[in-house]
Amino acid sequence: MPQNGVRGALVGRPARSGRAGPPPVRANAGLPGLDHLGLDPDDLPDGLVVADENGRVICFNAAAARVTALRAADVLGRPVDQALPLEDLEGRRWWQLTDPYGGLAIRVGQPERNLLLPGGREVLVAARYVRQRPGGPLRRLVVTLRGTEARRRTERSHAELIATVAHELRSPLTSVKGFTATLLAKWERFTEDQKKLMLQTVDADANRVTRLIAELLDISRIDSGRLEVRRQPVDMPAALRRHVDGHVAAGQPADRFTLKVRGPLPPLWADPDKVDQILGNLLENAVRHGEGTVTIEVAPAPATGGERTHTNPAAAPGTAVTVSDEGPGIPEESMGRVFTRFWRGSKRGGTGLGLYIVKGIVEAHGGTISVGRAPGGGAQFRFILPVGAPSFLS
C-alpha cells in the first residue's frame, strides 16, 4: 500500500480505540463525482480530506500529505479530529469550535482560515458540509488544505509595495516641507527669482507625489480587475507626436526621436488617457535608460485569427507601436521579469511600477505587449491594441 499518497490506500484497519472501522474501501470511495469525471483525488492541486458520516477519514490525497507532512497510512480510517488536530492562532481546538457533526444542521461549511497543526505548521483550511438533505445529518465532511506560501508571497509583495511607496514619498514630501517652511519663515529675505525657483521645486515635487498616488490607484484597479477602459477614437500618430514634442520642449534634442508611420492605420477605439499613460511610460524609459536615437514605429497589426467577439477582441486588426533605443538593452535573463512589480532596469530612480501598469492597461484593452532587443542593440517594446469598439457598444 502506498505510504505517501492515496492511490490504492485502504480504509478499514482498526482504529486506535480498538473498535473496528468501516469495511475496506478505496481512498476515493464515496466520491462518485470524481469517478464520473475520470479524476483521482491525487489529480487535485489542493489538499483534499473527506470524512464519512461517522467522522472517519476516507480520503486523503497526495496534496494533503504534502501540505500537512502526514502519511496517508497514518490518517485514513482515523477520526478526523484526531488525524488532523487543528488549532486556531489562539490555541483553541478548531474541531471543538466548529463541531461539524453536532452543531447547527443549517450550516453548510466553514470559510478558509489560517490554522495550525502540531509543531506549528500553518495551513489554510476550509470545510464543506455535505448533508443528505437540507437540515439533515452530515453525510460527508469535505476539507480542503492549502499551504501558506502563496499568501506569504502576497504579504511580502504588499510589504515591498509599502516600503517602496514610503521611500518614494519621503523625498518629495521632505522637499515640500523644507521649502514651504523656509519661505514662511524668511519670505522677505529672498529675491523674486529665489522664491520662484523654490515654488517651482515644490510644484514639481507635488506632481511627483500625485503621479505616485495615481500609480498606486492603477495597481489596485489592475489587481482587482476594476480598471475601466473608456473607448474613444484615438489618433495614435498624433498622440506620439505630442509626447515627442513634450520631450523636446523639456530639453531633449529633436533629432534624438524618429517617428515612422507605416501604411494606413485602422480606426482605433481606446481610452485616450490610458494610451497617453502607455506612451509616456515607454518613451520616458527609452529617454532615461536608453541611449542614442529613440525610434517609434506605428503600423497596422494583422488579426490574430479566430472570430472576433467581445471576449476575443484581438481577433480583429489593430495598431502596433514599437519603441526602440540604442542603449545597452535589457539582459536576456531579465526579460521575463520586466513587467513585474518593482523591476528596475537601472539605478536611475523610479518606483519599478510603470511597466507593470503599462502591461495591465494594454491587457485591459484586449491587447498584448512584449519586450526584446532592438536592431541597434537597445531595448525594444512593442504593444498591439485591437481596433476595439466604442464604450456604448461594448
Per-residue pLDDT of the chain (394 residues; tens, 9 = 90+): 333 433 434 343 333 333 344 443 344 444 556 666 777 888 888 999 999 999 999 999 999 999 998 999 999 999 999 999 999 988 899 999 999 999 898 999 999 999 998 888 889 999 999 998 888 999 999 999 998 877 777 777 777 777 777 877 888 888 899 999 999 999 999 999 999 999 999 998 888 888 888 888 888 888 888 888 889 999 999 999 999 999 999 889 999 999 999 988 998 999 999 999 999 999 998 998 888 899 999 999 886 544 444 444 444 589 999 999 988 888 888 888 888 877 766 555 566 788 989 999 999 999 999 999 988 788 999 999 998 776 555 5
- Please report, in angstroms and rounded to a whole number, the separation of the first and last CA atoms in the chain: 57
Q: CA 48, CA 67: separation in Å to the nearest integer?
A: 10
How far from chain centre, in Å, is Cα 2?
A: 37
Which residue type occupies 334? S
Per-residue pLDDT at 144:
94
pTM of the complete model = 0.59
Q: Using the structure block, give the residue that is written with the C-alpha cell 480606426.
A: 267
Per-residue pLDDT at 131:
92
Per-residue pLDDT at 180:
92
Which residue type occupies 64? A
Own/partner contacts of 201-207, CB < 8 Å, gap of 24 or more, are: 201/175, 202/175, 202/176, 205/171, 205/172, 205/173, 205/175, 205/176, 206/172, 206/176
The dihedrals phi and psi of 261, each to the nearest 5 degrees, come to -115, 115
Q: CA 326, CA 145: separation in Å to the nearest integer?
A: 51
